[in-house]
Structure 1
């Protein structure tokens, strides 16, 4: 396996995708959506994809994909991604993803894919009944990235292994087909606080829309009262706020709330702790609720406004798909020639 030491020195093209599973929450916003907007503001060439092909690796309710795709696109825009500056599109509308995934299935090695831990986590003990698509999911991820010759991918810790596989596939393709440097080796971008937001009820588990308790997460659609109530009822402990980051060790719920405050207020955890050192949660939780509501209220309002205009979202997705095809098709023409397909 290759490492992920940065090697690329040319202009940055950023690719990232979000599954259309609905019910977006604070973890999705801080871990992905807000960072997407920040990457756009930094002037990078960005493509943001609603990965509906990935969504069908597990059962999906009939008819849900279209509405959930619109929800993700609306969330991108509500969080500050401008479709005039970045490409927002549905994965299934660009055939390069599926075509390149097949080619990469023939480049990747079984041993590489078998080492991917996410398949084991999702398939559980019933792996033999899981879809082949769930197993080869990371290969499609590699195709998603490399169909655009993306050089950088914002990832959480749980996706770093998949990005390493993308680098391995790119490197092997370049070597096997005698095309050195054809595909860049995409580099991970792990950006600052908010990369991993945990459940409000269990600080050892990631905030998740699949958690049966709605109190475990703050949904992007929640109003101010709902947010305040969830923060008020968030799990903590009996000790006061510590004065140092080291003091958060062994206190996962407290560390999570401090991290949320830092990410939403634009501060470091150290500065938050300095402000609240020695105080109890009767003081900290109302302050956290105030910061959270102030930050999310305009985003939630814009999100609801966009969802009320599905035709407008569809225009954005159609335009984005056309622009994505314009980038990927020249790459795929070169791939076909490099592989040696008839007519290429």
Structure 2
């Protein structure tokens, strides 16, 4: 059986970009029998900010979004970074296997540093190693990644390979599962992001969804065409309509006249598509103690895996002192 590790930083509730870009694919893989671990990476919130915000509330919102989208709590391990000490202890030997130059030239770290607009913290510099610990502590062999995350995964593979060469076969080199899922643009025409405030949250009401779609950026050409390169904002709305209805974006463009009609269609299609998810989310949110119980169970399972891996790592490094 394959084992998959993926997750999010709890900086706010999930939006439709998460749903179409990754969460629906995770649900599909889980239903196909892939063992699923989802890390709510609370420690990573402070890589590029001083204030964690209401992180407990954000963790709750993310878990509710997972469950409402179809993640099976009976089969998935949902855990928080900060509750698994052995995972973070793995960073120490892993850091010895990479150079500062390798970390400094990681393109994802560079992009995140530029986006933060502040000096790079030590945690951000070592973020790829932290992510390697996330993946290797549970011996995940499948990691869903976007193309911008491939350098992180390649460093994880490098760390696994170097550890094995130095101390003996311990870790499998995980394989990246590149998704064909789309990049969903936000209402301002940039990639949908929690930090940019340009998303349509999964928990939003129908009225909020319609209002946000109406505010989405388009262009002045009334004739609709599906041109992701030349007309990205219009193409994004056509893609959203397609994802919700199953009709091709080119066909939708041919039968509609102007961006007003397109926005009306997208708003209605999103409301209909998300209605079952949102109804399920309301039911889950009304169950007292549900999220806390699931996270506690997930943390216990993650600690079992991490403790076992750390014991193995220490033994292979000659740091098992029980018999001295």
TM over 0.5: yes
Please say if residues 238 and 252 of structure 2, whose CA atoms lie closer than 8 Å, have aligned partners that are also in contact. Answer: no
2:188 maps to: 201
In structure 1, what is the Cα distance between the partners aligned to 2:266 and 2:88? Answer: 44
- Helix, strand or coil: the match of 1:277? helix
Shift of 1:278: 5.5
2:141 maps to: 151
- Helix, strand or coil: the match of 2:5? strand
2:210 maps to: 228
| TM, length-normalised to structure 1 | 0.85
Q: Could you say if the C-alpha distance between residues 262 and 128 of structure 1 is closer, same or farther in structure 2, counting changes exceeding 3 Å?
A: closer
Shift of 1:131: 1.9
2:231 maps to: 251
2:315 maps to: 337
Task: Give unpaired runs (5+ residues) of structure 1.
Answer: 1-10
In structure 1, what is the Cα distance between the partners aligned to 2:232 and 2:116? Answer: 31
In structure 2, what is the Cα distance between the partners aligned to 1:60 and 1:84? Answer: 35
Q: Answer yes or no: is 1:43 the counterpart of 2:33.
A: yes
In structure 2, what is the Cα distance between the partners aligned to 1:289 and 1:192? Answer: 24
Q: Answer yes or no: is 1:121 the counterpart of 2:104.
A: no
Q: Could you say if the C-alpha distance between residues 125 and 279 of structure 1 is closer, same or farther in structure 2, counting changes exceeding 3 Å?
A: closer
CA deviation digits over 1:128-155, x for unaligned, max 9?
A: 8432111101100000000011011111
In structure 1, what is the Cα distance between the partners aligned to 2:241 and 2:107? Answer: 31
- Which of 201, 223, 230 pairs up with 1:240? 223
Q: Answer yes or no: is 1:92 the counterpart of 2:93.
A: no
Please say if residues 48 and 113 of structure 2, whose CA atoms lie closer than 8 Å, have aligned partners that are also in contact. Answer: no
Task: Give unpaired runs (5+ residues) of structure 2.
Answer: none
In structure 2, what is the Cα distance between the partners aligned to 1:285 and 1:126? Answer: 32
In structure 1, what is the Cα distance between the partners aligned to 2:306 and 2:245? Answer: 38
Please say if residues 13 and 62 of structure 2, whose CA atoms lie closer than 8 Å, have aligned partners that are also in contact. Answer: no
- Helix, strand or coil: the match of 1:221? coil
1:328 maps to: 306
Q: Answer yes or no: is 1:279 the counterpart of 2:271.
A: no
- Helix, strand or coil: the match of 2:39? strand
CA deviation digits over 1:80-128, x for unaligned, max 9?
A: 1011011111122112220111211111222211111233233339988
Shift of 1:274: 2.3
- Helix, strand or coil: the match of 2:7? strand
Moved more, 126-135 or 48-57: 126-135
CA RMSD of aligned residues (A): 2.3
Shift of 1:38: 1.6
- Helix, strand or coil: the match of 1:56? helix
| Runs of at least 4 residues off by over 6 Å | 125-128
Q: Could you say if the C-alpha distance between residues 156 and 310 of structure 1 is closer, same or farther in structure 2, counting changes exceeding 3 Å?
A: farther
- Which of 172, 180, 192 pairs up with 1:184? 172
In structure 2, what is the Cα distance between the partners aligned to 1:124 and 1:274? Answer: 39
Please say if residues 15 and 199 of structure 2, whose CA atoms lie closer than 8 Å, have aligned partners that are also in contact. Answer: yes
Moved more, 296-305 or 64-73: 296-305
Q: Answer yes or no: is 1:71 the counterpart of 2:61.
A: yes
Q: Answer yes or no: is 1:217 the counterpart of 2:199.
A: yes
Shift of 1:239: 4.3
CA deviation digits over 1:226-259, x for unaligned, max 9?
A: 11122223222214233xx6x4431111221122
- Which of 247, 258, 262 pairs up with 2:242? 262
Please say if residues 193 and 262 of structure 1, whose CA atoms lie closer than 8 Å, have aligned partners that are also in contact. Answer: no
| TM, length-normalised to structure 2 | 0.90
Q: Answer yes or no: is 1:135 the counterpart of 2:125.
A: yes
Shift of 1:62: 6.0
